[in-house]
Amino acid sequence: MARSRTRAPARAARPVALVTGAAKGVGRAIALHLLDAGWCVTAFDLPKTRLAQQFRGWARSSATIEGDAADEDIVREAVRLALERFGRLDAVVASADIQLRRPLRRLTLDDWHRVLDTNLTSTFLLAREAQRALRAAKGAIVTVASSRALMSEPNTESYAASKGGLVALTHALAISLGPDVRVNCVSPGWVVTKDYNKLKRRDHLQHPAGRVGRPQDVAETVAFLLDREKSGFITGANVTVDGGMSRKMTYME
């Protein structure tokens, strides 16, 4: 486990978020979007993901911690770091995520546990550890699931189960932690994190919205759901960000 050492004032005047899966893709986009919007962010991801280097330009408003988000002790340390560094915790964004595509006959129990631990159990651990600070801040949790919670491709049993579990965990937490803490879920569809310009025209046109998703689409939705003034009457919801694909009826010709 590695954590940044930069010191800051005892209590930040700005809101503070803890973001898992912050080293790349959607998680990184969320962390950077919040920083740009004036938040302080504790970025959390696996070892050897170069978190400290990635967020070096935000030294005064960020902290980093490397470790497994499914490890109870490291989750506890991550919450402690956020509170020590900034003096408060207003939001948790659970975006740690892995996917294994394996035929069912080859999906081992270890594979199953690895995906569910990373995608689902880590969120439970974060919510449990952060709840006291979030209650004090009248804060919010946003989980990042997937449209695969509601629809599937072949050989994605562990991923679909973990994301479906996140949707259910979200509304359970919303009831348990309300009214102090709002808890919502964002379910992205096809979001391309690199080489966006290499997509084909048909990739975009199959979406009712006319294009494939970008990480920023998810980040902006997360930021909206964290804002009590803008979304204070929304809790327990699952917001699908998929360009309309899950509402599109498709038949074979």
Provide the residue type at 103 as one letter. P
Alpha helices in 59-156 (DSSP H): 72-86, 109-116, 122-137
Catalytic, out of 159, 166, 191, 212: 159
Query: Beta-strand (E) ranges in 34-111?
Result: 40-45, 62-66, 91-94
DSSP-assigned letter for residue 245: G
Catalytic site includes residue 251: no
Closest to 90 measured CA to CA, from 240, 239, 241, 225 = 225
Instruction: Give backbone dihedrals phi and psi of 69, rounded to 5 degrees, phi first.
Output: -70, -10
Distance separating alpha carbons of residues 149 and 239, to the nearest angstrom: 12
3-state helix, strand, coil in the chain (%, to 5): 45, 15, 40
Distance separating alpha carbons of residues 231 and 224, to the nearest angstrom: 7
Provide the annotated active-site residues: 159
